[in-house]
Amino acid sequence: MSAPLKIAIAGLGTVGAGVAKVLASNGAAIAARCGRTIAITAVSARDKKKDRGADLSAAKWFDDAADMAANADAHVIVELIGGSEGAARKTVEAALARGRHVVTANKALLAHHGVALAKTAEAANLVLGYEAAVAGGIPIIKALREGLAGNTITRLTGILNGTCNYILSTMRATGRQFADVLKEAQDLGYAEADPAFDIDGIDAAHKLAILTSVAFGTEVNIKSVHAEGIRNVSSLDIQYAEEFGYRIKLLGLAERDPKTGGVVQRVYPCLIKPEVPLARVDGVFNAVVAEGDFVGKSVYEGRGAGAGPTASAVVADIMDIAAGRRVPTFGIPATQLKALPSVPVEQHEGEYYVRLLVVDRPGVFADIAGVFRDESVSMESVLQRGRTEKSDVNVVIITHETQEANLLRALKRLQANAALVEPPHMMRIEDLG
Ligand code: NAP
Ligand code: HSE
């Protein structure tokens, strides 16, 4: 057996402590599989005294993670601090500058600086491993980069944020309120340090930007991802969607656009039919559907957040380094990744769910219908439900296929209508058949 692979871990929170536990529990099997043991020689976090639930007494403590990356006796620096800037970025840059491999779970860092970091790593023949950054325990980077490498990927669709999927499926199953379920997801270690990243769709956008690069050979470009979150999805929307025969999921979607030659990259809550595989993925689970020209559709499902699943993916990356397995960071050399144009969401075509809370008085529905007619948006179904205590009423409309720009014009005009009690709620209906 070769000499141990020495690793230094920056960040000992949910994921960092999880990695220490996986290595402690499964060390012998891991060594057998990659031909050498893996030894934690150094660690860094903010609070030296905090109990991490793992024996780290043999590891040297560093107060400063970047200092550890620059000086620790380690072959690999494992960055598990988080954030696209600050200590995390400094640590990764210090590690690469010193000629050390890096493993990270940090999708924000990769989404903002992935191309530059990959170029630096590849120029120095170093590995930048980030399996844990996308879809937690699902080995989706390996699947796309290696397992499906012989295909041209045509489309990716996924549930990429465990916190949001947990919130939406728990609200649907129990009728509990958003804030209450979010708190539970935080307590379970699923949410980001700032949960706004989860519920505003930013975390899923980071992951989609990374997946898009691997799938389509493009530069990771977070700015070209259109992102909406689930903050405004209410129990009422979940109920109405059910009545029309749909589930609401926060999805990430990426595909090549033959008209512009660009890549569509969108994250938003949307309505999907209950019989498609993603509709049945509940709780903290994530899933990715990859469509390739020869493989067809393949579906990958597993826990998308939490200590165990994420640490499992981090350890797999460390084992690849230990065993000497190398693949370019995003599938092709970083210098060859293409910069493709993004496709504005206004060009999206499809059916839509619209909920309007309006004052219940004669003529209001006729006004709504008139605006939709003028903007060439055709209604497929309409539902109107009993008055609230304030004599307001919800009008829910499913449209026929239309261009988003038309619907947005219609909603803008309706917003100026005095009968509207609050801004319109709109969600796309995705045909994933
Ligand atoms: P966490 O529980 O908040 O842990 C963060 C760790 O970083 C803590 O140990 C903290 O130290 C340490 N830290 C913070 N600032 C530091 C600094 N300036 N220098 C050194 N250490 C510092 O976060 P986490 O959930 O483990 O997430 C870590 C990374 O994994 C993030 O990039 C996150 O996006 C990613 N990720 C998380 C999950 C998940 O399910 N949690 C899943 C996939 C990916 P103290 O403990 O002393 O405060
Ligand atoms: N906050 C993230 C989520 C962690 O809920 O999916 C996993 O990346």
Token code pair at residue 330: 């995003």
Distance CA 257, CA 348 (A): 11
Best mutation site among 14, 50, 89 for ligand 1 pocket (most ligand atoms within 8 Å of CB):
14
Taking residues 116-143, report their average pLDDT: 98
Best mutation site among 47, 310, 314 for ligand 1 pocket (most ligand atoms within 8 Å of CB):
310
Q: Alpha helices of 217-326 — where are they, by DSSP H?
A: 235-243, 307-323
In a 10 Å sphere around its CB, with 0-12 CB exposed, 13-18 middle and 19+ buried, how is residue 312 labelled? Answer: buried
Taking residues 80-102, report their average pLDDT: 98
Closest CA to 117 of 94, 144, 86, 142: 94
Closest CA to 309 of 97, 139, 116, 85: 139
Catalytic residue positions, numbered = 207
Ligand 2, CB cutoff 6 Å, lining residues: 136, 161-163, 190-192, 198, 203, 304-305
Token code pair at residue 207: 């992951």
DSSP state of 424: P
Q: How close is the Cα of 15 to the center of ligand 1, in Å?
A: 7
Closest CA to 213 of 265, 138, 159: 265
- The number of the ligand nearest the C-alpha atom of 199 reads 2
Is the confidence at residue 215, as pLDDT, over 80?
Answer: yes
Tens digit of pLDDT for each residue in 320-371? 999 999 999 999 999 999 999 889 999 999 999 999 999 988 899 999 999 9
Distance CA 208, CA 225 (A): 8
Best mutation site among 159, 187, 192 for ligand 2 pocket (most ligand atoms within 8 Å of CB):
192
- The number of the ligand nearest the C-alpha atom of 197 reads 2
DSSP 40-68: EEEEE-S-TTS--SS--TTSEEES-HHHH
Q: What pLDDT sits at residue 342?
A: 87
Helix (H) or strand (E) holding 428: strand 425-429
Among protein residues, the one whose CA lies closest to atom 22 of ligand 1: 45
**Strand runs (DSSP E) across 293-424, as ranges?**
296-303, 349-359, 379-385, 392-399, 402-403
Q: How close is the Cα of 331 to the center of ligand 1, in Å?
A: 27
pTM as predicted: 0.97
Residue 163 CA: nearest ligand 2 atom is 5
| Residue 8 pLDDT grade (very low, low, confident, very high; cuts 50, 70, 90) | very high
Pairing mode, strands 38-44 and 60-62:
parallel
Answer whether 80 contacts ligand 1 (Cβ < 6 A): yes
Tens digit of pLDDT for each residue in 140-190? 999 999 999 999 999 999 999 999 999 999 999 999 999 999 999 999 999
Q: What are the structural domains, with CATH classification, of the chain? A: 5-133 (3.40.50.720), 140-303 (3.30.360.10), 347-429 (3.30.70.260)
> Which conformational region is residue 175 in: left (phi greater than 0), alpha (psi within -120 to 50 degrees), or beta?
left
Distance CA 248, CA 396 (A): 15
Query: Are 61 and 86 a contacting pair, CB within 8 Å?
Result: no
| Residue 259 pLDDT grade (very low, low, confident, very high; cuts 50, 70, 90) | confident
Closest CA to 77 of 138, 16, 26, 31: 16
Distance CA 103, CA 319 (A): 10
- The number of the ligand nearest the C-alpha atom of 163 reads 2
Q: How close is the Cα of 310 to the center of ligand 2, in Å?
A: 9
Among protein residues, the one whose CA lies closest to atom 20 of ligand 1: 45
DSSP 65-103: HHHHHHHSS-SEEEE-S--SSHHHHHHHHHHHHTT-EEE
Q: What pLDDT sits at residue 71?
A: 98
Token code pair at residue 13: 């929170």
Tens digit of pLDDT for each residue in 279-326? 999 999 999 999 999 999 999 999 999 999 999 999 999 999 999 999
